[in-house]
Amino acid sequence: MAAPANGPPAGYPVDRLIFAPGDVDLARSPLAGHLMAETYVLGAFNPGLTRLPNGNLLMMVRVAEALREPVRNDHVHAIRWADGRYVLDPWPLEQADTADPRKFLLQGGGWKVMALTSLSWLLPVELAPDGLEVVAVHYDRAIAPQADLQCYGIEDARISRVGDRWLMTTCSVSPERHSTTLYSSENALDWRFEGIVLDHQNKDMLIFEGLIDGRYWAQTRPLGDLYFAYPPGSEWRAGPSINLATSPDALHWKPYERPGIRPRAGTAVSARIGGGAPPILTDGGWLTLWHGVERHEIVGIYRTYWSILDRDDPSRVLRGGEAPLLEANAGLTRPIEDLMYLRDVVFTTGIADAGDHYVVASGEADLACRITHIPKSVFGAG
């Protein structure tokens, strides 16, 4: 398994990589035997996290399986699921911008159109109760595309336990739409596909781990190319925000009228914000971990922040930390430096209670899974 490199920037007692590309056996991949081309693991990252009935932790790891040579014969190729098989689509190289190793932009349209040089699927990885040892890798329970709306892959699982049921949101990618899809389970290992719950480019959906006044709540993050300005001097800045939605059954969602977490003017978080780990209830309110992005080069600098939301009205932010909770740590990825293609990114995707601390799961550098033990005292009372 991944070498446990330590040395956390925030001085947390435990902060290490637990699962990396070299830990994935591609001979057991859903894509194995389908493509007449070599693939490799671009990243094993952004893990959803929950506690299993047996007390162990489960990471639902996003495996981005990429073409070793996406460009050949003057074409760049994309992997696509089609009717139970995986195929390669060739695009003329002169029509594509390949600056980003994860994707390519197709030129000449009236709006931004992209395709991917990798396809993502989800791999359940069972950990010891403290999250520091891999107990089992459940290839037989991997989640792969099964419909046209997922033909470019399934990404970034977030897992919530609500009552006796587990709910997992994912991003499903296709030319039809970039949607949020839902899976449900009675044991967090065997999952049932429930279909689309949020439409195009409404992603980072995090279902609260508990009902509020008998209803399900979720954070959402719709994207767009146009935002309207706040008045001059406002404390807020126009742009992507973390919104809220409610549901009677976790399948049918209605946007909440009041905003959730919004970007503030005059902060380093200037590119976008979005949900990280599903909100969990504490004595002081709902603890939510979210990401803020500072503009830098192609992708930006991703950091994790935290807020406490009112337990009865999550649109009310009671308090939070101004400084980042987590930042990317080059010391953690140094043993796998040769695999790096992206820097300055930590993307938190899961949290589990562990007594006097939380086990927090994140993707590090879009490459590997990071486990951090964060003392509850960091978040103050409650």
Question: For residue 84, what pLDDT is reported?
Answer: 95
**Regarding beta strands 216-222 and 202-207, do their DSSP bridges make them parallel or antiparallel, or are they unpaired?**
antiparallel
- The confidence score (pLDDT) of residue 355 equals 97
Q: Say what the pLDDT of residue 68 is.
A: 95
| pLDDT the model gives residue 381 | 60
Contact 332, 351 (CB under 8 A): no
Query: What is the C-alpha end-to-end distance of the chain, expressed in Å?
Result: 35
What is the mean pLDDT of the segment spanning 211-217?
98
pLDDT tens-place string over residues 115-156: 999 999 999 999 999 999 999 999 999 999 999 999 999 999
Contact 366, 339 (CB under 8 A): no
Average pLDDT over residues 11-29: 96
Q: What is the pLDDT of residue 3?
A: 40
pLDDT value of position 134: 98
Per cent of the chain over pLDDT 70 is 97
Report the pLDDT averaged over residues 369-374: 98
- pTM for the model stands at 0.95
* Mean pLDDT score across all residues of the chain: 94
HEC profile of the chain: CCCCCCCCCCCCCEEEEEECHHHCCHHHCCCCCCCCCCEEEEEEEEEEEEECCCCCEEEEEEEEEEECCCEECCEEEEEEEECCEEEEEEEEHHHEECCCCCEEEECCCCCCEEEECEEEEEEEEEECCCCCCEEEECHHHCECCCCHHHCCEEEEEEEEEECCEEEEEEEEECCCCEEEEEEEECCCCCEEEEEEEECCCEEEEEECCCCECCEEEEEEEECCCCCCCCCCCCCECCCCCEEEEEECCCCCCEECCCCCECCECCCCCCCEEEEEEEEEEECCEEEEEEEEEECCCCCCEEEEEEEEECCCCCCCEEEECCCCCECCCHHHHHHHHHHCCCCCEEEEEEEEECCCEEEEEEEECCCEEEEEEEEHHHHCCC
**Residue 7 pLDDT more than 70?**
no
What's the rounded mean pLDDT across residues 16-45? 97
Q: How far apart are CA 124 and CA 52, in angstroms?
A: 12
Residue 1 has pLDDT above 80, yes or no: no
CA–CA separation, 99 vs 76, rounded Å?
12
Would you say residue 6 has pLDDT above 70? no
Q: Is the pLDDT score of 4 beyond 70? A: no
Cα angle vertex 83, ends 82, 88, to 5°? 25
Confidence band for 2, pLDDT divided at 50, 70 and 90:
very low
What is residue 8's predicted lDDT score, i.e. its pLDDT? Answer: 37
Specify whether the CB–CB gap between 154 and 144 falls below 8 A. Answer: yes
Per-residue model confidence (pLDDT) at position 246: 98
What's the pLDDT score for residue 379?
Answer: 95
Return the pLDDT at 66: 97
What is the structure's pLDDT at 112? 87
260-312 pLDDT tens trace: 999 999 887 877 899 999 999 999 999 999 999 998 887 899 999 999 999 99
Sign of CA dihedral 67, 5, 2, 48: negative
Q: Could you read off the pLDDT of 38-90 as tens digits, one per residue?
A: 999 999 999 999 999 999 999 999 999 999 999 999 999 999 999 999 999 99
Confidence of residue 9 (pLDDT cuts 50, 70, 90): very low
d(CA 270, CA 340): 25
